[in-house]
Chain A
Amino acid sequence: MREAVQQIINGLEAGGAIALFALGFTLLFGVLDIINLAHGATLTIGAFVGYYAIAHYGAPLIAALAVALVVGAITGVVLNVVAFRPLRRRSRTELSALIVGLALLLLINSVLQIVSKTRVYTFPPETFGGAPVRLGWGLTVGRLQLYILVIALLLGGGMFVFLRNTQRGRAIRVVAWRTDVARSLGIPVERIISYTFAIASALAAVAGVLFGLAYNYVFYDMGTPYLLTGIAAVILGGLGNVLGAVIGGLVIGVVGSLTAQYLNSDMVDIVTFSIIGILLVLRPQGLLGRAAVRDI
C-alpha cells in the first residue's frame, strides 16, 4: 500500500510535466482547431536550452526555466508566423496543418541532431542536490521532483486563472469558441493567436526542461514520445479543455508509474494507449470535453 502511494507520488511528478505540455497542446487545439505536432519539437528545444543554461553557464534551475520559457515563447511565435499563419491564409484544411506540424517536427529534430551531434546530454550531478523530503509514513519525494511538481502546478493554476479572469485570457477563450464572433467583437484575432502560440510553446519548453531533469536525459528526438503521451493526456481530459489537460496529464503520469511498478515498463505504452483507445470508443469527448462524435 505504501509502495503504491509512493508510486502515485512519483507518477504525479512526471504527470506534472505532462500536464504542462498537454495544457499548451490543448490550448492550441481549442483556439485553432489544429493538432500541432511541432509542439513536441518545442519541448525538445526547451530541454536543450535548459541543459545549456544549467550545464554550461551554471544557471540556477529557476533561471534556466525562465530562459526556456522565453525561448519557447519566441519559438511559438516564429512557428506561427513562418508556417501556421500563411497556411491559415491559404486553406482551412486541418490535414495540411497536421503535415506542416510534422514537417516542422522533423526539421527541428534534424537541426538539433546536427547541433548535438546525436549525443545524449545529462545534467551535472549537483543539479539534483539536496536530501529527499520526507513526507512521513516512510514516503519520500526528491527535492527536484518536488520542484517539478510545484512548478507544474503553479504554471497550470496560473494559466487557469489567466484564462478565466484576465481580459486577454477571456479574449483567447472567445477566439477558441468562435473566431467570427471574436472578430465582430473587435478582438484582434491574429494577435490573440500569436499570444496563444507564445503561451502554449512557453509551457512546452518548460515541460521540456522538467522532462530532461526528471529522466536526466536530453536528446534531439526526446520530444516525440512525450508528444504521444501528451496527446494521450489531452484526449483523456477532453481535446480543447484546459482543466481536463492538467487532470489528464496527472492521471497519465500516475498510470504510467503504477504500470511500470506493478506490471512492466514495456507495458506502459500498451496500458496508456489502450486506455485512450477504449476511452475514445466509450466516451470520445474525454472526461471534460465537448462532443466528439457526429451522429447522422
Chain B
Amino acid sequence: MSAWYHAHQAIIAFSLVNILLGLGMFSAIGLGLISLAGAGFMAAGAYAAGVTATRYGVGYPETLGLAMLAGGLLSAVIALPVIRLRSHYFAIATLAFSLVVSAILVKWAWVSGGSVGFIAVPLRTTTRDLAIAVVGAAALLQLIFRSETGRVFRAIRSDEYVCAISGVRIRYYKFLALTLSGILSGLAGGMYAQVLGVLQPSDFREGRAFAILSYAVFGGAWHWSGSVLGALILTWLPEYLRVFSNYRDILTGCVLLGVVMLAPGGLVQPFRGHKLRLFLRKRRRSATRTAPAATERARGEFARLPRHAAPNGQGIPVCEITGIRKRFGGVHALSDVALTLPDGGGIYGLIGPNGSGKTTLLNVINGFTPPDAGSVLIRGDDLTSRGAASVARAGVARSFQDPRVLAEMSVFDNVLIGCHPLRIAGALESPFKTRRGRRDEREAVRRAETALATFGLEPFADHDAGSLSFGQRRLVELARISVSDPALVILDEPTSGVNPVLIQVLSDHLRERRHSKRTAYLVAEHNIPFVMELCDFVFVMEGGKLLAQGAPAAIQRDERVLEAYLGANA
C-alpha cells in the first residue's frame, strides 16, 4: 500500500484536485449552467495563491483563503452579466472568459511570469489537505442537494417557466451557484499551485475547461457523485492506459465517446430513480403517520403566511389592472384593458374568441409579458414589469394552456416547489437545516401530501412528472397551485384537452374553494358551459379590448357578446 502510494502520489493529488474541480462544475451544471469558466476561476485561484506565497511569503491557510476569494470574486463579477444568457451562449461566454483570463496572465508577465510560467511555488498542499477539501465540498453539496435549495437548482435545470411562476428568483440562484462554483474552483487552483509548484497560463485554457465539463457529463450531471466518479475515471484512465503508449489518448477518447453516447445521462444515471424512490418512500411513510392532521384544512405554519394568504379585509382588490396596452409588431394585442378582481375570493371567467388577447392579458398580469403602458396592482402593490417571480411571491399562481411540469423531477417534488413562495428560510439557510428551514420543509411536505390526496395523485408521487399523461400533468399543475394557498389563481384554458372526469374534478375543486372566500380564480376558457355554470362574474374580450363584463346571466343576454362571440349560438 505504502509503496503503491508513493509511486502514485502525484496522480492521487491531481485526481483529488480534479474531483474538487468537478464538484465546482457540478455546482453550476446542477442548475443547467454549462459553464466553461472553471478553468478561469482555477487560474485565478492558482495565481492568487502561488504569487502571494512565493513573492510575499503569505502563510499556507491564508493563500487558500485568497484562492477561494479570487475565484469567488471573479465568478460574482462575471456572473452578473452572463447568467441571463441561454445555454450555448452561456457556454461560449464562459469559454471566452477563461481564454481572456489565460491571455491576460500571459501578457501580465511581471506578476504572472508570463507564458514561461511562474515557478518555485512552495509545495505545501498535502494529499490529506486535498482529501479534506474534497470531503468538505462534497458534504456541502450533499446538504444543498437534499434541501429546498437543491430542489430549486434541479427545478431551474428542468423548466425555468415553472420556477418563475413558483416565485423562484432564478437569477439569484444562478448567481449563488456560479459563485459557489468559482469558490470551489479557486480553492482547487490554490491547492493545485502548491502541489505542482509551477504555473503556466496555457494550463488553464480551453483544454482544462472542457476537461472539467467532461467530468460532470461523463459521470452524470444530476448528482455530485457523478462529477467525483467522472473526475476519478478520466484522471486515472490515461494512467492505466499508459502501456499503450501512443494509443493512450485514442483509447481515452474512445471511452469518453462510448460512455457519453451509450449513457447520455452519465454513469450514475441508472441509480437515479432507485435512490430517489427509497428516499421518498421513507419520507412518505413518516408523513402518513401524521395523516389525521393533514386531512384537516391546511393551516399555515409558515410565518410568511399571514402576509401571503388571501383576504386582507381592507377591501384592497386582489388584482387591479388599468390602461394595459401591448403591441407585438403591428398587432395591438391589448389596448386599454382595465379590470378589477375584488377582495374575498370568487371565480372570474375570461372569455373571448381566439386571438382576442386572453393569454396575453394573463401573461401581463402574472409578469411574463411587460406591458407597453398601464399598471398591474396585486393587492395594492404595483408589480408592473417586475417579473413573474415577484408576482408569484405576492400570492399569484397560474397554470399554462399546455400543462408545464418539471419533467425530470418526481410529482412530489413538483408539488413541493409550489410552496417555494411561502418559505421563510432563504437559499443560503435551508441547506443547513436551521429551525426555520426544518419547519418550512415539514409544513411544505404536509401541504404537498394534502394536495396529492386532493387530486388523487398519491400513487404517482414518486414518478417522474414527465412520464405522466396530459391530464395527469394538469392535475400536477393544480396541486402545485393549490399547495401555496394563493390569493389569486390564473388558469389558462384548464379544460382544454382533458377528459370529462377531469373537468368534473376541476369544477368540484373550484366550487369547494369558492366557499373559503380566500382565493380569487381568473379562468380563461373556451368552454362556455363550464364558465357560465361556475363563474360568479365574467369578462369578455374581443380584439384586444374588454368588450363586456358582468354576471354570467347578464353576459349571456348581452347583445354585443352574442354578436361578437357566441355568434351562431345566439
Contact = CB atoms under 8 A, between A and B. Distances in A.
Contacts of A114: 246-247, 250
B87 to A, nearest CB: 6
A296 B160 contact: yes
Ranked nearest first, the 9 interchain pairs of A and B with the lowest CB-CB distance are A107-B253, A110-B249, A91-B264, A269-B103, A103-B257, A281-B81, A96-B264, A103-B256, A296-B164
Main SS of the interface on chain B? helix
6 contacts: A96-B264, A98-B213, A102-B213, A235-B92, A284-B85, A296-B163
B87 A94 contact: yes
B34 A296 contact: no
A270 B104 contact: yes
Contacts of A106: 249, 252-253, 256
A102 B261 contact: no
A276 B264 CA distance: 30
A161 interface: no
Interface in A221-256: 224, 228, 231-232, 235, 239
A240 B254 CA distance: 29
A63 interface: no
Contacts of A281: 81-82, 93
B253 A228 contact: no
Nearest to B114: A266
Contact of A293 (B85, B247, B262): B85
Interface string B240-263: 000000110110111011001110
A103 to B, nearest CB: 4
Given A98-B91, A99-B217, A100-B261, A228 B250 contact: no
Interface of A: 29, 33, 35, 37, 83, 86-87, 90-91, 93-96, 98-100, 102-104, 106-107, 109-111, 113-114, 224, 228, 231-232, 235, 239, 264, 266-267, 269-270, 273-274, 276-277, 280-281, 284, 292-296
Interface in B79-127: 81-82, 84-89, 91-93, 95-97, 99-100, 102-104, 106-107
Contacts of A95: 29, 34, 217, 221
B364 to A, nearest CB: 14
Given A87-B264, A96-B260, A292 B89 contact: yes
A277 B96 contact: yes
Given A110-B249, A269-B103, A93 B87 contact: no
Most buried by A among B160, B217, B387: B217
A269 B206 CA distance: 12
A110 B99 CA distance: 23
Nearest to B388: A296
A33 B88 CA distance: 9
Contact of B97 (A266, A277, A293): A277
A129 to B, nearest CB: 35
Nearest to B34: A95
Interface string B150-167: 000000000011011000
Contacts of A37: 210
Contacts of A295: 84
Interface residues of B, number: 54
Contacts of B41: none
B93 A104 contact: no
Interface string B295-306: 000000000000
A100 B257 contact: yes
A169 to B, nearest CB: 24
A110 B86 contact: no
A224 B209 CA distance: 13
A231 B96 CA distance: 10
B532 to A, nearest CB: 34
Interface in B184-241: 206-207, 210, 213-214, 217-218, 221
Contacts of B261: 83, 86-87, 90, 96, 100
Contacts of B85: 280, 284, 292-293
A225 B213 CA distance: 19
Contacts of B26: none
B411 interface: no
Contact of B210 (A96, A102, A267): A102
B338 to A, nearest CB: 26
A268 B269 CA distance: 42
Given A100-B260, A106-B256, 14 more contacts: A29-B88, A86-B261, A94-B87, A95-B29, A103-B253, A104-B253, A266-B107, A267-B107, A269-B100, A277-B96, A284-B85, A295-B84, A296-B164, A296-B389
Nearest to A292: B89
Contacts of A111: 250
Nearest to A291: B86
A96 B217 CA distance: 7
A7 to B, nearest CB: 20
